[in-house]
Amino acid sequence: MNAILRRMLPELLEVAPKNCVYVIVTNPCDVLTVIGQEVTGLPPERIFASGTVLDTSRLRWKLAQRGSVDLERARLHRRRARRHRVPHWSRATIGTVPILDWQPLDGQPKFTVDELDRIAVDVRDAAYTVIPGKGATNYAIGLSSARIVEAILGDQHAVMPVSAGAERLPGRRRRCPLGALPSSTAAAPDRSSRRPSRPTSSHSSTAPPTP
């Protein structure tokens, strides 16, 4: 994929509009984000990857179901560290209530740390559950990618956990993908190249997943 991207992007630059925004939708998306920016010379607001938008959507959906609330009330995002997706539990809320303090409206008990760990594993392994049944997870990544593109074309300023390369940071020798850093990966992708897709501590806003 590295070689394909390095060959493809220069050709795209020749024919694409000058203000085109590139969204990378393949793995390893964090690494390919950095490669894409190095090959094209484009800033983070012009080329980034889907990050953990899909994983975050799945996780929020499961939390909303368990918490007996609509999807928009479940707020958190997942960070990517190498091959692992790490839920940002300390920032997870339902409405404004920390996830462990939330009392489900249907009378179920509150969330426990062990239960959250099980939910995280279920979400992490979701693809391995779907693939044996239907052969691929194409609908889910298609939906999450469409959500990213919708936010860009509509200038919605939606906050999403995309992989947008970070410039040199203290203690680091080269640029790194935000998704591989221990800080927040959330960013607000947007159609205008004048407005940076910068990291933020806000919670993500993504669409519900479809397997």
How would you classify residue 171: left for phi > 0, otherwise alpha for psi between -120 and 50, otherwise beta?
left
By CB atoms closer than 10 A (0-12, 13-18, 19+), residue 165 is buried
Q: How far apart, in Å, are the Cα atoms of 182 and each of 34, 70, 188? A: 17, 29, 18
What are the residue ranges of helices labelled H in the chain?
2-15, 29-40, 53-67, 113-124, 126-134, 138-153
Q: Which amino acid is at 141?
A: I
- Which residue out of 84, 88, 157, 203 is catalytically annotated? 84
**Catalytic annotation present for 203:** no
Q: Which residues form the catalytic set? A: 84
